[in-house]
Amino acid sequence: MSRMQIGATEVNFVLSGPETAPVVVLAHPLGADLSVFDGVASALRDRFQCLAFDARGHGGSWKPPGPYTLADLGGDLLRLLDALAIERAHFCGLSMGGLLGQWLLVNAPQRLDKLVLANTAACLPDAAAWDGRIAAVRQGGVAALTPGIVPRWLSAPFREAHPDVAAGIAALLDACDAGGYAGCCAALRDADFREILPEAAKKDILVIVGEADGSTPPAMGEDLARLAGARLARLEAAHLSCVEDAPGFAALLRDFFI
């Protein structure tokens, strides 16, 4: 794991795999960090360089005062790619990471090869609900939301079979910086790519949905795939499909990126 200071920005990241291989950027969901892609990266790094990073406000990256925008998050990533001399890369983003991918598709398409948008949507509606979440986090920290998030992120059969993994995800959420979480909530509240996506989507795109996803149900991913003219793949998993079915998730990426 490395931290890079880029101007005022400090980004925590892991770059692993053959130096001459194509790069795959892995962007995590709200409240998590780069570790949720450990299983996926380990299955890909024989063929790809995997660049996983902590978004601002999360993990070991910088945590400036919010609110943030997707342009803030995207700018951080573009500066990291510049600093690492990565001109183009494949991209996989899950949930918040998927909205970041859509921002890149609209604002920096020249930096992208193929694009995977997992367990996400072109818009996450209900601004009032996002404002309520921001208020709750400011008052009680992310831990106040964890009991409601984990059942949406991991299906009941998976939690029962892997209680240690479920406990680790709960601890990850509990430890998330409240200001960083609230700042990213504002970015997601204000994001809407429904009108611009059909015009901007001129890349090879794969949308992954989780059949048991309680945060971005399959219908949201289906709408996203239609708007983007994308392929659609399904996993028997909840929202955090990169953890619940890391082998299946990695297989989809490997087949798509090759």
Q: Is the pLDDT of residue 43 over 70?
A: yes
For residue 11, give the H/E element and its range. strand 9-16
Q: Which two tokens stand for residue 147?
A: 């009991």
d(C-alpha 149, C-alpha 28), whole Å: 15
Please state whether beta strands 9-16 and 231-235 pair in parallel, antiparallel, or not at all (unpaired). unpaired
Q: Is 24 strand, coil or helix?
A: strand
Domain that residue 170 falls in: 2-257
DSSP 85: T
Cis before 67 (ω within 30): yes
Q: Is 80 exposed, middle or buried (0-12, 13-18, 19+ CB in 10 A)?
A: buried
- Residue 1's pLDDT is 67
Q: How many domains does the chain have?
A: 1
CATH number at residue 57: 3.40.50.1820
Q: Which two tokens stand for residue 235?
A: 């996993």
d(C-alpha 251, C-alpha 256), whole Å: 8
Q: Is the pLDDT of residue 7 over 90?
A: no
Mean pLDDT within 141-156? 97
- Tens digit of each residue's pLDDT (9 = 90 or more) over 99-123: 999 999 999 999 999 999 999 999 9
- Residue 202's pLDDT is 83
- Residue 81's pLDDT is 97
Global pTM exceeds 0.85: yes
For residue 235, give the H/E element and its range. strand 231-235
